[in-house]
Structure 1
């Protein structure tokens, strides 16, 4: 009762909720045909709607949300605003496919749903509702009390969000000057097996979304997430991910470099490109989407090209 009606996490979880509500509200205002980029943090960090939308001459919303807001909640929120002819591009992180049902049941957004969105929570599976009811511990209560006290001292989640995201949902604080040191020595992540991908609860959710939305005339295109070029991304794994989309009526975009870049191109982790490389990758994504959509693509503007040209991997080739 305390977590449902009184305790809150306005700074940590509240930031995620503010981000989610802002992006959903903007998506609702866009005219069709439009583009929705949907993923975890790989969406806003490594993809730019400023670039993709302009090159395809379509309104674009970068709907990617950091880990903590689960995919089932995102899809329930976003699908009412998708219309025939709209495009959803999903460069989902590999962990999104392999996520288990137990992970969903224990997700952080259970607290947010229980506290702020019980009507939406009621639309999710029974085990997800039960997980939300048992979301929180004494430690969470102490964190809540601390955050609620801090939030009274003019700490505004909306103001913090304005410094981190633009109006189209792209991350804008990923300046190369602030990149995390040591990424060049960062070991590549462990790649899941093709069977683990195919059998994941997240993969089943995505497959159902692809089938349902393509039946309504929405164009759903999957893609690979950005990662270090040292990642052992084999053909079998790529086919396993692509099959989740193509077997259910969608399409799949594989860039020539498989969305793999040198570690120097990243900001603070595998899924997060620094802004010049975010623009460089988005140019390639826009060109690939245009080909799949049989749509003319406009060249990127001079300002975009100049920023993309400062990506470390581009500079290294000169």
Structure 2
């Protein structure tokens, strides 16, 4: 028994040293970390009042600060990050940069609301926090800490061993990956319509969460707490619909459950952010550039009316791009 305990302790110590101090995935995971750090830093540098687009990848793919910021006359950051990054961590990082008068528009993906505590324990940002920011774990609940501590498997280790030499040789690195995908305001810029993945777009539509899943979701609780805290500071938080395929099976009860999180501060666009499949880049949440621009113009108009702000006409070049949206 004593030998077994010694071996188990040694194995655990080796695991924590390897994944906490040595191994990482610089090509598949580090870009997500760098993206979050860049967006966090830019948010902190922007003057108030500013516009912040906050969602998963629906934010940077389907919305454009380059369009919406000038139309509303506000500095803008497209702060959305892929769903694999936990909202609990993101909210903690972004909150200090949000001040009274700032506008946060949240077209959150429906799965963000329905995610459970168990799903949060398995999110990829656990590995990133263990490797790069263990201090953040002190602000998260015990389940998230355990998920981070036991984030990684043998397959993860093998991926790290394969990726780290490539990154060291400069074949690819996180900064060059991000520079090709995002502009300085956090908008996705590699979503040209001509490069859309028709194979993915032709696949079956995903099953959307039910009203019961939304109401019971751990994500819903996190979002509702964030909305309440920021509104108490004087931040204007407005909900919105993520972009979806036309014909998506979203019940009226599900839509009502989402809207309850935000109360009357909810932008309900006439088409409820539904577009034909041909308007997307590679999934429901990711519009191709012409429709990213067209959708952003519609959102900016809607936000201006809600906020009582004058709206500026979009730039001629952006209007030309948006005309290609069906």
Q: Shorter-chain TM-score: what band? A: over 0.9
Q: Helix, strand or coil for the counterpart of 2:29?
A: helix
CA drift of 1:188 comes to 2.4
The structure 1 residue matched to 2:318, chosen from 286, 291, 304, is: 304
CA distance in 1, matches of 2:293, 2:270: 16
Rate the CA distance shift 1:4–1:184 in 2: closer, same or farther, 3 A: closer
The alignment's C-alpha RMSD in Å is: 1.1
The match for 1:153 is 169
Give the alignment partner of residue 289 of structure 1, picking from 299, 303, 308.
Answer: 303
Cα shift at 1:184: 5.7
TM-score (norm 2): 0.93
2-side partners of 1:233 and 1:6: how far apart? 45
Return the alpha-carbon distance in structure 2 between the equivalents of residues 129 and 282 of structure 1. Answer: 37
Residue 220 of structure 2 is aligned to residue 203 of structure 1: yes
Secondary structure at the residue paired with 1:89?
A: strand
Q: 2:73 aligns with which of 16, 37, 57?
A: 57
Structure 2 unmatched runs, 5+: 1-16
Hey, what does 1:185 align to over in structure 2? Answer: 202
Q: Retained in 2: the 8 A contact 1:53–1:59?
A: yes
- Structure 1 residue 271 and structure 2 residue 271: aligned? no
SS at structure 2 position matched to 1:221: strand
Quote the offset at 1:232 in angstroms.
Answer: 2.0
Q: 1:38 aligns with which of 48, 51, 54?
A: 54
Distance 1:151 1:188 in 2: 36
Q: How does 1:1-318 map to 2 (within 5 A)?
A: 1-154=17-170, 155-182=172-199, 185-246=202-263, 251-311=265-325, 313=326
234-243 vs 169-178, which moves further: 234-243
- What is the alpha-carbon distance in structure 1 between the residues aligned to residue 207 and residue 271 of structure 2? 19
- The range that moved more, 199-208 or 178-187, is 178-187
**Structure 1 range deviating more: 261-270 or 152-161:** 152-161
**Does structure 2 retain, via aligned residues, the 8 Å contact 1:183–1:263?**
no
Q: Is the 8 A contact 2:210 2:251 kept in 1?
A: no
Q: Unaligned stretches of 5+ in structure 1?
A: 314-318
Report Cα offsets for 1:176-228 as digits up to 9, x if no partner.
Answer: 11001135633322122111111100000000001111011001001110010
What's the secondary structure of 2:155's corresponding residue?
A: helix
Residue 12 of structure 2 is matched in structure 1 by none
The one-character-per-residue Cα deviations of 1:61-110 (angstroms, maximum 9, x if unpaired) are 00011122111111011001000000111100000000000111111110
> 3-state DSSP class of the match of 1:12?
coil
Aligned to 2:4: none
* CA-CA distance at 1:236 after TM superposition: 2.1
Moved more, 192-201 or 271-280: 192-201
- Higher Cα radius of gyration: 2
Counterpart-to-counterpart distance in 2, 1:263 and 1:156: 32
User: Residue 33 of structure 2 aligns to a residue in which SS?
Assistant: helix
Whole-angstrom CA distance in 2 between matches of 1:38 and 1:150: 33
How many angstroms apart in 1 are the aligned matches of 2:265 and 2:298? 17
| Structure 1 stretch displaced more, 120-129 or 281-290 | 120-129
